[in-house]
Every structure is written in structure tokens, then in C-alpha cells.
Chain A
Amino acid sequence: MFFKRKGCYLLGLLLLAGCGKKELPIEKVLALQQMSGLATVEYVVTKIIKANDNEAWYKFGDRKILMSCKATLTAGIDLSAVKANQVNIDGKAISLTLPHSKLLAINIKPEDIVAEYEEVDVLRQPFTSEERNALAVQAENQIKASIGELGILQTAETNASLFVNNFLHHLGYETISINFDNLTLPNN
């Protein structure tokens, strides 16, 4: 009798635990970072995401997706890296060495990933939002891997040089020479 009652309690507890709502994860403020990046160029790139889920022998029917993806890459220089010993002033002439450019951000906005075409046969499951996102993650990685080939860092340095040159010209300098370690872009 005692075990019967205890068993009922246990069963009740288990049922209650099973009915419990999944608690939402807690939001966190991770960090606030100070920086001094001068963004000088943005590249807008596009990519088609193609995936075909017909590889396994036991899957019957088509399941494919075609998505378009647009990413914005931003590059620039760290302005705080310009130190006094990298600047030479002689009257109205100035020469300074700027740090090399770096990628500041890759931004793939949610509205820039669009599923253009989906074909899912009756016997197959439709693509979930998680699966679509996983495909977009692969596209993001492929874009990240191709940064070197896009020439964004070189353009960022050219633009940084132009911006600093104009700025120094506003400040009254007439002869301006800007260097990036080995690369020199003299301006008058």
C-alpha cells in the first residue's frame, strides 16, 4: 500500500516535470570594447547558396534549395596605432606612417539572405529555419575564406591614404607623404 502511494507520487512528479515549460535562455551583456578603427572601404559581395540533399541512398525524392546571400565587408586602419615617432613635420611638409589595414567587420543582414527556390518532394521534410541558417553559415565561412582574393585590404589602404591626405590638407599642410611600411604613396 505504502509503495503504491509512493509510486503514485513519483508518477505525478514525473508528469509535472514533463509538462514544465522550457525556460528561455538568459540574455547577457558580454562586453563593451573601445576601439579606434577608421573604416575606409566597404565591399558588397553576393553569393548563391546551392544545396542538394539527395546524397543518401535511402532518401527518396528531391530536397533542394537555392538561396541568395549578400554580405558587406568593411576594412580600415587603426588610427590609434599612429604614434608621434611615425610622424615627421618640416614646416608645411609632413610625412607619416600608417598601420596596415585590417578587416573590421563582415555583416550579413537577415534581410540579405533569401530562399529563392525550394523543391521538397512529398516523402521529404521541408527545410527548417535551423537548416537554412546552417547553410548560410557555410556561405559565411566561404566568404570569410575568400577575403584575401577580393583585394579589400589594398583598397582600404588606398582610401585611408586619401582620407588622411585630405584631412591633413584641411589642417594646412601642403606637402604630404603617407607610408604603409613598404608601400609609399606620396602626395602634393
Chain B
Amino acid sequence: MRKRLTKFVLIILLLLAAIWLYKHPDWLSSFKNLFSSKHLEIENTAIIVKEINALAQLVTITSYNEVVIEEIINGAPIFNNPAIPTILSVPNLRYGDRKLVLIGKGRVLAGIDLTKLTHKEVFIKDDSISVTLPKAQILQTIINPSDYDTFEETGNWSDEETRAVKVKLRDKLINTVLKEHILEKAEAKAKLVMESFIGTVGFKKVTVLSAP
């Protein structure tokens, strides 16, 4: 009789617990959060202006590209002295290889630096003007932290090593866009922009040339 009563009470208690959990579903999730890893957040530190530089760059082309870089560093031998494995008759063991594969979505800005344009490059006669623009160049290559995606990372990569891989990725991006003839396109567009602007400010015959 007592056994049956205990069983009955247990069933009632279980039922009550189930109803309570059904009514308070957030309690379960908060218990789950007890061990969940928290997102690491940085402190809101001050932003300090170090330099203010005046520019006169005409940006005429932006090339958006996605580049991938794979860097593998072979593991170093466990024994510093190569004679040790032979003496101990053990294989020459090495630490595991380290691999880092990064994807970078970057953009390259190309155009001309108008600070190089001096009065020697401007020739005016009545309502005609001839301007010789400086050569187009890559003005900025931008791959910000939010533009990187770590595809694979094995082993410990120091800050310096990671930075070197990111610099390689940026160089690869520059080489990629140079193959797309970005400078020629930037020069052609710069001529159009300058022709249009100079035409707007009152000149009837505008000739814009590129520096040889």
C-alpha cells in the first residue's frame, strides 16, 4: 500500500514538474547558458586622431575582388639535434604542420594624384584648354578585418605570422587587379571626369591627355 502511494506521489510530482517546465521554457535555456562560451567583447577605448593630411586624389575605379591564400608551415623536428633519433634508434619525429587558409574580400582604389598636376601641365588659349594628367596609380588597397574569413586554421599562428599571411593576401589582390588592367581603365575614366568638369566650368574646347 505504501509503495503504491509513493509511486502515485512521484507521478504527481513529475507531472507538476513537467507543467512547470512547460510554463517556464526560459529556465531551461538559462541553465544551458551556464556553460556556453560568451562572445569576447573589447572595451570601448578612445579613438585618437594622429594625423590629418590634405589630399587631392581623383579615385576613378574601384575593383572588388575575393582572394584566397593558403600558408603551410612544416612542423619543426622534436629533437633539436638530428643525431639523437639515430642514437636512440627512434624515428625523426616532427611536430604537426600548421596551416592557415584565409579568404579576403578586398577593394582596390585606382586613380590619379592631382597634387602632381602643376601649371606646366595646363595650357590655356582663349576658351580652349589642354591638360596633361599624371599617370594613374593604385591609391589604396583595402582589406579590413571584417573582410577576412578564416577558412582553415590548424596549429598556433602567432600575430606576426598571421600578419605576414595577410600582407601576402593583399599583394595577391594587387597582382590580380593589375592583370585586369585597372590602371588603364582608371586613366581613361580620369580623362572623362576631368573633361566633363573642365567643360562645366566654362571651356568650350577641352583636351585632356595622359602623361607619357
Binary per-residue interface labels of chain B (153-189) against chain A in the complex, 1 for a CB within 8 Å, 0 otherwise: 1001101011100110110000010001010010001
Starting from the known contacts A89-B202, A110-B166, A140-B144, 8 additional A-B residue pairs (CB-CB under 8 Å) come to A33-B61, A35-B61, A35-B62, A36-B59, A105-B142, A113-B145, A132-B162, A155-B52
When A80-B196, A163-B114, A171-B201 are in contact, do A51 and B58 touch as well, CB less than 8 Å?
Answer: no
Known: A44-B53, A46-B48, A110-B143. Contact between A94 and B202, CB under 8 A?
yes
* Interface assignment of B45: CB less than 8 Å from any CB of chain A: yes
Residues of B within 8 A of A167 (CB): 114
- A126 CA to B155 CA, complexed, in Å: 10
| Partner of B59 from A39, A126, A171 at Cβ < 8 Å | A39
CA distance A30 to B76 in the complex (A): 39
Whether the pair A43, B51 counts as a contact (CB closer than 8 A) is yes
Partner of B150, one of A42, A83, A133: A133
Count B interface residues, CB 8 Å.
Answer: 80
Kindly state whether residue B49 has any CB partner on chain A within 8 Å: yes
Residues of A with Cβ closer than 8 Å to B? Answer: 22, 24-51, 53, 55-56, 58, 67, 70, 74, 76, 79-80, 82-84, 87, 89, 94, 96, 104-111, 113-115, 118, 126, 128-143, 146, 150, 155, 159, 162-163, 167-168, 170-173
Residue on B nearest A168 in the bound complex, by CB: B201
**For the complex, what is the distance from the CA of A114 to the CA of B122, rounded to whole Å?**
45
Taking a contact as CB atoms closer than 8 A, the residue among A28, A36, A67, A132 that contacts B58 in the complex is A36
Q: Is B109 within 8 A of A172, CB to CB?
A: no
Per a CB cutoff under 8 Å, which of A70, A132, A143 touches B50? A70
B40 touching A134, Cβ below 8 Å:
yes
A55 partner residues in chain B, CB cutoff 8 A = 38
Q: Measured between C-beta atoms, what is the minimum distance from A65 to chain B in Å?
A: 9
Distance, CA A51 to CA B83, complexed state (A): 45
Q: A-B pairs with CB below 8 Å: how many?
A: 225
Closest to B155 in A: A128
B124 on the interface (CB 8 Å rule)? Answer: yes
Residues of chain A within 8 A (CB-CB) of B143 are: 110
In the assembled complex, the CB of B199 is this many whole angstroms from the nearest CB of chain A, namely 8
Min C-beta distance of A142 to chain B, whole Å: 6
From B49, B50, B145, name the one whose CB has the most chain A CB atoms within 10 angstroms.
Answer: B145
Q: Is the CB of A82 within 8 A of B197?
A: yes
The answer for the CA separation of A163 and B114 in the assembled complex, in Å, is: 9
The residue from B53, B58, B67 contacting A79, defined by CB atoms under 8 A apart: B58
**Cα-based distance from A108 to B139 in the complex (angstroms):** 14
Task: Say yes or no: A133-B148 contact (C-beta < 8 A), given A32-B185, A34-B189, A45-B47.
Answer: yes
Q: How far is the CA of A58 from the CA of B34 in the complex (A)?
A: 9
Chain B residue nearest to A75 (CB atoms) is B55
B63 touches A32 (CB 8 A): yes
Q: Are A28 and B51 in contact (CB under 8 A)?
A: no
Interface locus among B1-9, B10-18, B23-31, B99-107:
B99-107
**B42 adjacent to A24 (CB under 8 Å):** no
Whether B51 and A129, one on each chain, are in contact in the complex, defined by CB atoms closer than 8 angstroms, is no
**Could you pull out 26 A-B pairs where Cβ atoms are within 8 angstroms?**
A24-B151, A25-B151, A27-B65, A28-B65, A33-B63, A34-B60, A35-B61, A38-B57, A41-B54, A42-B53, A70-B50, A74-B140, A76-B55, A76-B59, A80-B193, A87-B202, A94-B202, A104-B109, A106-B142, A107-B141, A107-B142, A113-B145, A114-B163, A133-B148, A140-B145, A150-B47
